[in-house]
A and B are shown apart, each in its own frame.
Chain A
């Protein structure tokens, strides 16, 4: 595991991303409310520049015609096909292989009821050492 300083912590404000180059690989470093996460800048679907996508909330619904946002700034939308990824885990949010056959529930609290997909963006541990962000690859 290589550890590399990629930026000063203050360079990545909450709700933002900075794309850095680590040994020739592009990695996006995200600040979620003071916690830092890093994702490969490469969508696992077709290789698009994932970290150039918009940082978004999760759109949820109680039923047809009902819309709300939750978990603001915790998700990333790939700039190509618009797939949603959870920044913390790299997990894509839509799973074509869910075996759950449950009925739609009215109360959805934190988004975990949405089925999680098999596509996972590559993640890297990020730590803050003094004022610097360090990524492990």
Chain B
């Protein structure tokens, strides 16, 4: 079970695409130059207005170092804030040919004041470009938009779409209604029209509902797991509201939500879709077919069954086309590309998961 020492592996020689990297501000005021004066003042006076009891911290504290890799702290800021360290420690060291930025906070996805949310969204997208993407051609930004304001979201998507350094759209899966709800459809329409996938990254802040159907968990151990049940819920909604039927070119990426749950959810959706078909005539095909055509999953945090081969069997069912490698750098449950998969993979499988599936999805050269 101990991993052997290896100096170079197929993974590093492959030049990988990392589908989940988290940039960070050196200090909160890094965002201010990108905000109009009115919203700069608002940010300083009031801060973000989120749906939890604490301000500026999470109500389920993470484990060591705020959930960040202890060895990823630069001298002058939190992990992910220093591009040079990110290059040395991760992009260069791990052969990252292309890295997808996932900006989680201060983009307005979880902001209750929708005017402020719009300003944050616009600012965060500018910040990503100026701070990371322009200086580092290996990195790609995501168009972060507040999903609760579909009209603004569409405008911001259309505004950014001509710029190929934005590879996808980012919204929260912890929305105020399940994402299949028709009020989000203009966002799906814009994504399809502008030919961008939509990434749903696990989000720490609620959109208004408890993270489980029986209320709020007590421990971070439970809340961490709730990321996967929440993703299941979101996917169920997208399928049964007919989103994939209505937007046949729409592509969804589920980021950091795991994937080993997906086959069982597909089987369950298929069985009960069939039984209750009269309720959802707009869902014309078995749910698992939509999942295998429209949904991609990033790999981190990888599951680690005692028998590693079991995970290969799960992927066999889901499809080797569906997975895209991710590290979640610089978070604590980082997956190192050399040691993520503990079962033997063929060269073809490695090429797909570490690079080619992402290149195909994002239209990368």
Q: Min CB distance, A75 to chain B, in Å?
A: 13
Are B338 and A47 neighbours in the complex by a CB distance under 8 Å?
yes
Looking at A46, A52, A81, the one whose CB has the most chain B CB atoms below 10 A away is A46
Q: Min CB distance, B43 to chain A, in Å?
A: 32
Give 1 or 0 for each of B326-351: 1 = CB within 8 Å of chain A CB. 00000011111011100000000000
Q: Which residue of B lies closest to A120 (CB)?
A: B2
Looking at B71, B334, B335, B338, the one whose CB has the most chain A CB atoms below 10 A away is B71
Q: Min CB distance, B333 to chain A, in Å?
A: 6
Q: Which residue of B lies closest to A90 (CB)?
A: B2
Are B336 and A46 neighbours in the complex by a CB distance under 8 Å?
yes
Q: Min CB distance, A52 to chain B, in Å?
A: 5
Q: Min CB distance, A53 to chain B, in Å?
A: 6
Give the residue of B3, B69, B71, B332 whose beta carbon is less than 8 angstroms from that of A44: B3
Are B3 and A45 neighbours in the complex by a CB distance under 8 Å?
yes
Are A53 and B70 neighbours in the complex by a CB distance under 8 Å?
yes
Are B332 and A81 neighbours in the complex by a CB distance under 8 Å?
yes
B residues in contact with A48, CB < 8 Å: 69, 71, 334, 336
Are B306 and A80 neighbours in the complex by a CB distance under 8 Å?
no
Are B71 and A79 neighbours in the complex by a CB distance under 8 Å?
yes
Q: Which residue of B lies closest to A81 (CB)?
A: B333
Are B5 and A97 neighbours in the complex by a CB distance under 8 Å?
no
Q: A82-B63, A118-B1 known; A46 and B335 CB under 8 Å? A: yes
Q: A46-B335, A47-B338, A97-B306 known; A52 and B1 CB under 8 Å? A: no
Q: Is residue A116 within 8 Å, beta carbon to beta carbon, of the partner chain? A: no
CA distance A131 to B160 in the complex (A): 64
Are B1 and A119 neighbours in the complex by a CB distance under 8 Å?
yes
Task: Report the count of interface residues on A (CB-CB < 8 A).
Answer: 21
CA distance A48 to B339 in the complex (A): 10
CA distance A42 to B4 in the complex (A): 10
Q: Which residue of B lies closest to A24 (CB)?
A: B7
Q: Is residue A96 within 8 Å, beta carbon to beta carbon, of the partner chain? A: yes
Are A46 and B340 neighbours in the complex by a CB distance under 8 Å?
yes
CA distance A54 to B63 in the complex (A): 12
CA distance A98 to B335 in the complex (A): 25
A residues in contact with B1, CB < 8 Å: 44, 118-119
Q: Min CB distance, A42 to chain B, in Å?
A: 7
CA distance A122 to B3 in the complex (A): 11
Are B336 and A47 neighbours in the complex by a CB distance under 8 Å?
yes
Q: Is residue B64 within 8 Å, beta carbon to beta carbon, of the partner chain? A: yes
Q: Min CB distance, B300 to chain A, in Å?
A: 11
Give 1 or 0 for each of A37-61: 1 = CB within 8 Å of chain B CB. 0000010111111001110000000
Q: Which residue of A lies closest to B67 (CB)?
A: A82
Give the residue of B64, B71, B339 whose beta carbon is less than 8 angstroms from that of A46: B339
B residues in contact with A54, CB < 8 Å: 64, 70
Q: Min CB distance, B235 to chain A, in Å?
A: 26
Are A82 and B339 neighbours in the complex by a CB distance under 8 Å?
no
CA distance A54 to B144 in the complex (A): 35
B residues in contact with A46, CB < 8 Å: 3, 334-336, 339-340
CA distance A111 to B63 in the complex (A): 21
Give the residue of B71, B332, B340 whose beta carbon is less than 8 angstroms from that of A82: B332
Interface members, chain A 49-77 (any B CB < 8 Å):
49, 52-54, 77
Q: Which residue of B lies closest to A77 (CB)?
A: B64
CA distance A48 to B336 in the complex (A): 8
CA distance A119 to B183 in the complex (A): 50
Q: A118-B1, A119-B2 known; A82 and B64 CB under 8 Å? A: yes
Q: Min CB distance, A16 to chain B, in Å?
A: 16
A-B contact pairs, 22 of them (CB 8 A): A42-B5, A44-B2, A45-B339, A46-B3, A46-B334, A46-B336, A46-B340, A47-B338, A48-B69, A48-B71, A48-B336, A49-B71, A52-B70, A77-B64, A79-B64, A79-B70, A80-B69, A80-B334, A82-B63, A82-B64, A119-B1, A122-B2
Question: What 12 additional pairs, Cβ within 8 angstroms, besides A42-B5, A47-B339?
Answer: A44-B1, A45-B3, A46-B339, A46-B340, A47-B3, A47-B336, A48-B69, A53-B70, A77-B64, A79-B71, A80-B334, A97-B306
- Sorted from nearest, which 5 A-B pairs have the closest CB atoms? A79-B70, A44-B2, A46-B339, A46-B336, A118-B1
